Amino acid sequence: MSTANATNDPGTDAFVASSPISMVPPKILPVEVIERILKYATSFPDDLDSEVKDPFTTPDHGLVPLYNHKIADMKGAFALKHRILVLSKGWYKLLAGSLYEVVVVKRGKQLAALHRILLEDQCAAYEHIRVTLAQTIRHLTIYAEYGCVGADQDPVKEELDQLADIFSWAIRVKILTVQWRCLNKTKVQELPPRCVNAISCIWTLEKVHFDGLQPNAVDARDLVHRCPHLRTFIVTGKELLNAVVSPRRLVMKPGIKFFTLNALWKIYKDEPVEPNPTLKILHIPIGSPPNQMQKAVRCREAFLSAQGRHLQTVFLEVDFTNALTTLEETQSCVDQLDKYCTKLARLVFIAPTLWFFPHVKRLPPTLSYIGFWTPCAWALDRYWNHFFVELAELTREDVPMLKAFRLLDCDLVKDFRRQLAEGKDVGAEHIRRCIFRVEDHEGDEMLPAGLLKV
């Protein structure tokens, strides 16, 4: 069997195919072939897909809602990419361009390192007039690390300056995600105008996702207007109550396929929402404070009464900061979906944990599939049991067309099956009572075949 070997020569343009292993100069494969092979090996499914996938119609299962990729796939691709980049200077110079196509960096040292590398490359590129590394970036994600108690998550000026520089250099980005939830809950941290202006100049942008850090309303409106190819606009984060861009404006944007319908936005009676027949999938976050809930209901009604008849899939994300209020608002939103979304076939719930799943009592009768995803990939056996007790209570009168309920997180499915194998009471008998299929993330039965008919 032949073996492919790397060389330290920066000018190398081929692999050596030989046996046994040899370090002689490569003579067979051209550079273009090597680049294509490594690009394929270090990519992950849908890494450049700007549209949010419907988890029930996508062949590849186990995707994280709103992101289109599996965490394991992404980590595996980046691990291999890192090994190749540090192999030698020759490999780095030869392949850095294609390997920078997807960049995911953490705030702090990683962000500073990326800024330094891109800055040095910018200076070198001016002398030789070539495409820069920043110009090869097509998918860029910047995120803060959560979970460190007492850590200051708020960005400092140096980090914001680094972001602005990177955004101004990466002029061919297709997918941009900024995940940076700040500790200051009394005031939403805004992206400075310099950052937003740089993003607005990226005319290739098709998907933008702000999670926490966000532009102000004026800058966000200009950004959406100046990005002609924008198809997906997502805003998440529990502190984000007001819409940074009016849904009335977003729904009118040519080519828009998916966006977040935030709770609060200005309604003008003389400027009603114009329905968009091509917008069939929507993200609705739930979690208004008690004193704003009625206003949120009116805002959703103003939008859904116009656009609802075209929607087929809705992602309903619930935040249980106030569990009682959130469940009431969730039921109110589901009732509005029932009233206005006459073609709604798929409803995906996103909740902080399994035990905070919103067991609403009334569901749209048009539903064929219900999905559930949570970032918390475990639950005690009693929570599993209660979860399936509630599902088993649904009757054909409640869900006349429901075919399946699917758990979309593969790690959560593994947790259930592990506890089931250990003999814990995780509600297997209640799954058997359900009048619809209960499925794992791949669309298979949650229970093993031997237990399904016991």
In sequence order, what DSSP letters do the residues of 321-348 get, joined into one string? Answer: TSHHHHHHHHHHHHHHHHHH-TT--EEE
Q: Is residue 1 part of a domain?
A: no
Largest CA distance in the chain: 78
| The pLDDT of residue 129 | 73
144/89 same-domain check: yes
Instruction: Indicate the average pLDDT of the chain.
Output: 84
State mean pLDDT over 293-314. 95
Structure-model confidence comparison of residues 377 and 364, the more confident one: 364
- Of 258, 257, 339, nearest to 297 (Cα)? 339
| The pLDDT of residue 38 | 74
235/285 same-domain check: no
Q: What is the pLDDT of residues 396-420, one digit of tens each?
A: 999 999 999 999 988 899 999 999 9
- Of 219, 165, 182, nearest to 197 (Cα)? 219
211/287 same-domain check: no
209/286 same-domain check: no
146/165 same-domain check: yes
198/284 same-domain check: no
289/337 same-domain check: yes
Q: Is residue 228 part of a domain?
A: yes
DSSP class of residue 175 equals E
| The pLDDT of residue 279 | 96
State mean pLDDT over 274-300. 92
* Neighbouring residues of 257: CB distance < 8 A, sequence distance ≥ 6: 51, 52, 231, 232, 278, 279, 280, 281
* Residue 28 burial (CB count, 10 A): 12
| The pLDDT of residue 251 | 94
Domain count, the chain: 2
Structure-model confidence comparison of residues 24 and 436, the more confident one: 436
Please tell me the pTM assigned to this model: 0.85
Q: Is residue 51 part of a domain?
A: yes
DSSP class of residue 190 equals B
Residues in the chain, how many?
454
Res. 94: pLDDT tops 80: no
The rounded percent of the chain whose pLDDT value lies above 70 is: 82
| The pLDDT of residue 89 | 76
**Percentages of the chain per state (helix, strand, coil), in multiples of 5:** 40, 15, 45
- Copy the structure tokens of residue 211: 């999670």
Q: Is residue 21 part of a domain?
A: no
Q: Is residue 11 part of a domain?
A: no
For 42, the 3-state DSSP assignment is coil
Residues 73 and 45: beta-carbon distance below 8 Å: yes
* Residue 156 burial (CB count, 10 A): 11
CB-based burial, 290-299: b 16+ in 10 Å, e otherwise: eebbeebbeb
Using 50, 70 and 90 to split pLDDT, how confident is the model at 240?
low
Q: Is residue 250 part of a domain?
A: no
* Residue 286 burial (CB count, 10 A): 27
State mean pLDDT over 219-247. 87
| The pLDDT of residue 238 | 60
Rounded (10°) CA dihedral 346, 352, 192, 242? 60
| The pLDDT of residue 26 | 52
State mean pLDDT over 312-322. 85
Res. 358: pLDDT tops 70: yes
Final residue before a domain boundary, out of 224, 245, 266: 245
- The values of phi and psi at residue 434, to 5°, are -65, 145
Q: Range of 196's domain?
A: 31-245
| The pLDDT of residue 387 | 97
| The pLDDT of residue 183 | 65
208/300 same-domain check: no
268/412 same-domain check: yes
139/262 same-domain check: no
Q: Is residue 215 part of a domain?
A: yes
* Neighbouring residues of 59: CB distance < 8 A, sequence distance ≥ 6: none
Using 50, 70 and 90 to split pLDDT, how confident is the model at 65?
confident
| The pLDDT of residue 45 | 65
State mean pLDDT over 316-329. 77
Q: Is residue 7 part of a domain?
A: no
Q: What is the pLDDT of residues 108-148, one digit of tens each?
A: 898 999 999 999 999 988 777 788 999 999 999 998 865 44
| DSSP bridge partners of 316 | 284, 349
Final residue before a domain boundary, out of 207, 225, 245: 245
- Of 332, 341, 339, nearest to 298 (Cα)? 332
For 349, the 3-state DSSP assignment is strand
| The pLDDT of residue 16 | 37
| The pLDDT of residue 19 | 45
300/164 same-domain check: no
Alpha helices in 227-380 (DSSP H): 247-250, 293-307, 323-340
| The pLDDT of residue 7 | 41
Final residue before a domain boundary, out of 225, 245, 265: 245
235/189 same-domain check: yes
